Structure formats: structure tokens, C-alpha cells
Structure 1
Amino acid sequence: MSKIAHYDTIVSPVITEKATIASEQNKVVFKVANTATKPEIKAAVEALFGVKVKAVNTLVRKGKEKRFRGIIGRQSDFKKAVVTLEDGEAIDVTTGL
């Protein structure tokens, strides 16, 4: 896989309170492409950040209907990946990709 494909697989890191708490257990949360598979996500994280990945768990967050000034809109579905790193490995998501 080329480096460009790795950047297409991982869209952005998720920086929330829940993701910050998970980082204490050596886990990092990423927003990934809807078509990405677990092996592709593992390969992308290992190639881009130079770390060893222990496990990858994925989930699809369904889009919600939201109102803005009385107009109903729909948010998109997106896929998240919770990547568990090997002991001793770390990723600083605040620096960006």
C-alpha cells in the first residue's frame, strides 16, 4: 500500500474527553474511511506513526437528524477505529498527520 492510500484510510484523530481517557490505557481513536477494514487501518497506523498495533476495534456512528434555524438536516454516518497499541508505544495526536 502506498503512503497516499494510508492517508486516505485515516481521516483524522478523534479528540474528545472519552478518547483522552482511553489514551491512558494505550488506546488511540481515529476517524477512518467508511470502506476501511481492520487490516488496512492497522497497516496505515503502523506505517504513518511507526508504532506496533496490538488490536483494532471499529464502530460506525450513524448520522443524526439535527435542526438548525428550523430546517432539518442530516449528519453523515462515519466510522471510528479504536487502535490499541503495544506496551511502550505512544502516538501524540495533537501534532497531526
Structure 2
Amino acid sequence: MSNQNTNQGHLLKIILAPHISEKSTYLGEKNNQTIFRVARDATKLEIKRAVELLWKEQKIEVKKVQTINVKGKQKRFGRFVGKRSDWKKAIVSIKNEQELNFTNFANIEAK
């Protein structure tokens, strides 16, 4: 039982934030997909389980997960050159025309 709680705690740390952009809004409306910023070491199966765990009250079923490693951009600060961090993006497809509801996630804590 302790292992299950540890596993759920790990799954809750995988999804960092929804990624909001014009492309993500278009994909959400047209293909019923949602884009998330996820941990860099997360696998597709872990991302699927994390989404299903976070929205288990709505009985969300994930059809497919696609991942993209995004390279950080080079930025200049005056004469200094810096680089933003690399990050990972996950495109999650939902089954049965279901919709993710983000309104109940203000106070999520790993237990």
C-alpha cells in the first residue's frame, strides 16, 4: 500500500502545467487534444496514468500520448549570452469526446 501512495505521489509530480498557445487551443477544439508541460524524465505511460489519476472523478480515458523534447532558446542579456532550460511537451488525446475540466485544481497536493 505504501508503494501505491509513493507511485501516486510520483504521478502527481509528472504534469507540471497546461501549455497555452494558439496551436494548443486549435488542437483542443479540432482534435480533442490537450498539451501539457511535463517532467523531462516522464514516459508516455506515466503521463497517461497521471492524466487519468488527476481526472479520475470525470472518468477520463486517454487514447494516445505524443511527446516532444523542446530545446531551450538562446537569449542575450546585453553582452551576456544565456540559454533557457530544455523542457518536455506532451500532447494528450482524450477518448469519447470527453473534456478536461481545470477548475478543481487550485489546491492539489501530493499526499
Q: Identity of paired residues, percent?
A: 40
Segments of structure 1 that go 5 or more residues without pairing to the other structure are none
With normalisation by structure 1, the TM-score equals 0.89
1:55-97 C-alpha deviation (Å, 9 max, x unpaired): 0000000111111233211011100000000023111346646
- Of the candidates 19, 28, 31, which is equivalent to residue 24 of structure 2? 19
In structure 1, the partner of 2:50 is 44
Shift of 1:9: 0.7
Task: Name the CA distance, whole Å, in 2 between partners of 1:63 and 1:78.
Answer: 7
In structure 1, the partner of 2:90 is 81
Alpha-carbon RMSD across the aligned residues, in angstroms, is 1.6
With normalisation by structure 2, the TM-score equals 0.79
Check the 8 A contact 1:65/1:73 in 2, yes or no. yes
Secondary structure of residue in 1 paired with 2:13? helix
Segments of structure 2 that go 5 or more residues without pairing to the other structure are none
